[in-house]
Structure 1
Amino acid sequence: MIFSFKPEPKYSAVALFFQNIQEKIFLYKEHILSTSEIYEQKLAEALTPLHEESNAKLIEVRAKHESVLRENKGNKDAELIALHESGLDDAEGYYQYLEENIQQEHDELHDFFNKSSLIMLYSLLESELKKLCQIMQEIKMSRIGIEHFSNSNYIKGCFNYLDLVIELPAHPLESFQTKISYLQLFRNRIVHSSAELSPNSTNEEKNLLKQALNDAKEAVIISEGQFDNKRTIKIYSKQYLLQSLELIADLFLTLYQIINHENNYLIVKEELLSFFSAEISDIEIIIDSHQHIKNGAKFQFTICQKAKTGGTEIIHLNASVSSAASLEVATINQCKDSKLASEVANQIKKKEKYFASIFKEWTIANPSMSVNITLYE
């Protein structure tokens, strides 16, 4: 066992926020997938013995049906006689009824879980946006807080506040606000009316519902009441939860990139400093430039190390990150006789996956990423 007495790296509040939200989103996804799997297992456990019993019974009654048909060959009512004496119709109907009841019970359990999970996801979105607003208020030292933007649409208030303190670009966030309005519609109906739709909805509400259902791609449906004509939102599939979680993850990823840019890539700088300072002492990292490329980004850094004998050694690091089928990390060291460059290259080689994770927010990962590093003087 190796013990290290180096102090834990200190991250800014905004860096910690984005680290924590990633972890929460991961745990929410695991919760959704694992719970849905339990429900699927329960359904299989209920259906398996029923199928075994029905298969055995149907083999018996079908044999009886064929036997009666042979006995009544030439009789125009042979089929009716065979169905009656064998009980084939009754047996098929009985087992179909039992299977449909089990499936319906399973669907309702899924619906209850998915609706409660949807409320949880919406609460996550609200609470985390509020935290981010409070952090940005401190960073910008603004006297105006999120409480000045509170209204019935809390999430819209958060967007308005973030727009004030960091000037959110309109285009990247328009699609998020539209899709969040769909999520809000389903959440509000679930919370305020047990998922029932009002027969007195306005044309605007009807149009929004139509758009939301189209966006859900059949993962959310409207159930018509068999006796009372009530229309109720049903979420039988976990796909809408995963779709909503992906929406939230993409939103915070976009906010991460915007806030990074507005704060001179503070979060990337902190994570790189934490990565290298674990093994390399007295270093400083300066971000010189950043540019977007197809499915990724390019960064240029200056790394400085104070020598014990005085003076400072300086090297430069270029990092190009983009999507890839699998993780690829390549390092080229063009520095001659530089101890600092050798240490940096060795640190990257030893912990390639960790190093690559620092840049994962800058790629459209399908399913992984490529990182190409060049060190030069």
Structure 2
Amino acid sequence: MTPFQITFHYINNKREIEILENSFLEVNEQIDLYEKQFSNTINSYLKSRNEELGSLEKRYEKIEQEAQKRYDEALSTEKPDDQDNIAYATHISGIDHIMHNKYEEIEKIRLKYSDFLDLFSKSTLVSIYSLNENFLNKICDIASQIFNQKIKVTHFNSRDYLKASFDYLELVIDIPKEPFESTISKLEKIQKVRNKIIHAGSQMTGESILEFVKTYSDSFHYNEESQFLRVISPKFTSEFFGLIKNLYEELLWNLEEKQNYKTLKSILENWYGLMEGKITITEIDTKKTSEKIRTIDFKAESDNAKIPDFYGKLTLTSSKGYLVEIINQTDNAIIEEFVQADKDGIYLEMGLKAFMTFNKNLDIRLLIY
């Protein structure tokens, strides 16, 4: 098989991406766009702030040197420790006035960028939370179509979209809520903060909100007198992106399990389609063995008499994200030729795109036996 023949085959036998898989790919694109915009803007913010502070320091450097020279000249060499002499030298040199002005200008710059960080971070938080609510609602609608459910998430008639979505997934689609409880708890607290930002001008009250703010004291500052919440670091917003990505990754795997791994079967059958004959994935199961490792075990059958039934263990490991390893332990020449044709796993990785989209650092290892 030549590289051209391989490419030609996969182009002409492109697998159709279904609505559920596509929805996760689309929302990840939106998250990536928001995350890139946030990161670029914050980096630009830090650069501009540091440039302004550096420029101010440079401008005052010469002024301070001249003031220091006047101070030294005015200070009597006979009594340099005399308080009257020090007071006179300080006054005549203007050094106190210069330092006061410098301090005011520094604080003005810091406040300007602090206000920007606060407003931009809150705007991003509100936008991402709204995206999250809309996506969860969309997934519920798609799930109702896939699993032929007449009950829709709108029948729950709740203004709390977060609660309604997970209640729907658990009670109607039979996706257990338990694996998501920790994430749901965090999202509920973020929801309260988000509501206060929108409806109360960032004035925060309530024990649960204050506890949340205290937990993330490195990202928020709470003024007890004015009850105003200010964002002082981009750290929490960056972690928020990671939180919803982890949520969607787990949600995708749970929905895939619920539909008996229909998408994974399609991906593997399409990939193995380069071999002559029809390959059918007859058994498949997945396990998350740790926070970083997920395995997919499967059995494949072929209508080609020259290809016996074989098994596969696909391992996805959160690591560096550039290792793809395919190991063939069968003695079958056709399977070996196929493995050599895509030994870098390019087309396998392309097929698994949706399942890798929320974690770009997944290493792939496939054992065929």
Q: Same fold (TM over 0.5)?
A: yes
The two structures have a TM-score, normalised by structure 1, of: 0.85
Distance 1:274 1:112, change over 3 A: farther
Matches within 5 A, 1:247-266: 247-266=243-262
> Where does residue 234 of structure 2 map in the other structure?
238
Tell me which moved more, 281-290 or 212-221: 281-290
Asked if the contact 1:348/1:355 (under 8 Å) is kept, the reply is no
Identity across matched positions, percent: 21
Asked if the contact 1:284/1:303 (under 8 Å) is kept, the reply is yes
Structure 2 counterpart of 1:144, from 139, 143, 151: 151
Distance 1:362 1:119, change over 3 A: closer
Deviations, residues 158-178 of structure 1 (Å, cap 9, x unaligned): 111111133333432111121
> Where does residue 294 of structure 2 map in the other structure?
297
2:56 matches 1:50: yes
Deviations, residues 200-229 of structure 1 (Å, cap 9, x unaligned): x5xxxx2111221133242122246xxxx5
Distance 1:77 1:147, change over 3 A: same
> Where does residue 331 of structure 2 map in the other structure?
336
Asked if the contact 2:286/2:294 (under 8 Å) is kept, the reply is yes
What number of residue pairs does the alignment pair up? 361
2:369 matches 1:373: no
> Where does residue 207 of structure 1 map in the other structure?
207
Tell me which moved more, 345-354 or 10-19: 345-354
Asked if the contact 1:268/1:358 (under 8 Å) is kept, the reply is no
2:266 matches 1:270: yes
Asked if the contact 1:137/1:144 (under 8 Å) is kept, the reply is yes
> Where does residue 10 of structure 1 map in the other structure?
16
- Separation in structure 2 between the aligned mates of residue 326 and residue 67 of structure 1, nearest angstrom: 65
Report the CA distance between 1:288 and its aligned residue. 2.9
> Where does residue 191 of structure 1 map in the other structure?
198
Distance 1:323 1:359, change over 3 A: farther
3-state SS of paired residue (2:299): strand
2:43 matches 1:37: yes
Asked if the contact 2:288/2:294 (under 8 Å) is kept, the reply is yes
RMSD: 3.0
Report the CA distance between 1:91 and its aligned residue. 0.5
Distance 1:55 1:173, change over 3 A: same
Report the CA distance between 1:76 and its aligned residue. 3.7
**What stretches of structure 1 of length at least 5 have no aligned partner?**
none
3-state SS of paired residue (1:166): coil
- Separation in structure 1 between the aligned mates of residue 101 and residue 275 of structure 2, nearest angstrom: 71
Distance 1:270 1:16, change over 3 A: farther
Deviations, residues 55-96 of structure 1 (Å, cap 9, x unaligned): 111121122222222446253412211211111111111011
2:167 matches 1:160: yes
- Separation in structure 2 between the aligned mates of residue 12 and residue 344 of structure 1, nearest angstrom: 27
Report the CA distance between 1:257 and its aligned residue. 2.1
Distance 1:173 1:289, change over 3 A: closer
Structure 2 counterpart of 1:347, from 339, 342, 346: 342
> Where does residue 75 of structure 2 map in the other structure?
69
Asked if the contact 1:296/1:323 (under 8 Å) is kept, the reply is yes
The two structures have a TM-score, normalised by structure 2, of: 0.86
**What stretches of structure 2 of length at least 5 have no aligned partner?**
none
2:89 matches 1:82: yes
2:31 matches 1:25: yes
- Separation in structure 2 between the aligned mates of residue 46 and residue 136 of structure 1, nearest angstrom: 52
Structure 1 counterpart of 2:117, from 89, 93, 110: 110
2:328 matches 1:321: no
Asked if the contact 2:280/2:302 (under 8 Å) is kept, the reply is yes
2:146 maps to a residue whose letter is: I
Asked if the contact 1:276/1:344 (under 8 Å) is kept, the reply is no
2:169 maps to a residue whose letter is: L
1:349 maps to a residue whose letter is: D
3-state SS of paired residue (1:218): coil
Deviations, residues 350-372 of structure 1 (Å, cap 9, x unaligned): 52882695596599x7x944433
- Separation in structure 2 between the aligned mates of residue 185 and residue 223 of structure 1, nearest angstrom: 18
- Separation in structure 2 between the aligned mates of residue 232 and residue 72 of structure 1, nearest angstrom: 55
> Where does residue 285 of structure 1 map in the other structure?
281
- Separation in structure 2 between the aligned mates of residue 42 and residue 182 of structure 1, nearest angstrom: 33
1:263 maps to a residue whose letter is: Q
Distance 1:332 1:11, change over 3 A: same
Report the CA distance between 1:148 and its aligned residue. 0.9
Asked if the contact 1:315/1:341 (under 8 Å) is kept, the reply is no
2:125 maps to a residue whose letter is: L
Report the CA distance between 1:129 and its aligned residue. 0.2
Distance 1:282 1:356, change over 3 A: closer
Distance 1:70 1:21, change over 3 A: same
3-state SS of paired residue (1:77): helix
Asked if the contact 1:118/1:187 (under 8 Å) is kept, the reply is yes
> Where does residue 130 of structure 2 map in the other structure?
123
Asked if the contact 2:158/2:164 (under 8 Å) is kept, the reply is yes
1:216 maps to a residue whose letter is: Y
Report the CA distance between 1:131 and its aligned residue. 0.7
- Separation in structure 2 between the aligned mates of residue 148 and residue 45 of structure 1, nearest angstrom: 55
2:334 maps to a residue whose letter is: K
